[in-house]
Amino acid sequence: MSMLINVSISINLGPRQIRVGDKVLGQCDGVTIAVSEATPEELIKLMNADVIELVKVHKAEFEKH
């Protein structure tokens, strides 16, 4: 069982392609994200992931959390 930890860490994910669906729109030199809560295993998976999704959160969904 993994323990969920509160962290305040910035992770540089390195160069990435920017795609919408199957279409490559461009690339960026580096992506840095701020992580506020994760297990150590989740942080490792994040750093090693080939694909990371950005999902638009609608205001009503955001207010639930």
Q: Which domain holds residue 23?
A: 5-64
Number of independent structural domains in the chain: 1
CA 16 to chain centre: 12
Question: What does the pLDDT average to over 37-65?
Answer: 82
Question: What does the pLDDT average to over 39-56?
Answer: 87
pLDDT tens, position by position, 11-43: 888 888 999 889 999 998 888 888 888 888 888
Between 4 and 35, residue with greater pLDDT: 35
| CB-side neighbour CA atoms (13 Å) of 14 | 6
Residue 2 has pLDDT above 80, yes or no: no
Helices (H), 1-65: 40-48, 59-64
**pLDDT at residue 29 in the model:** 87
Q: What is the pTM of this model?
A: 0.62
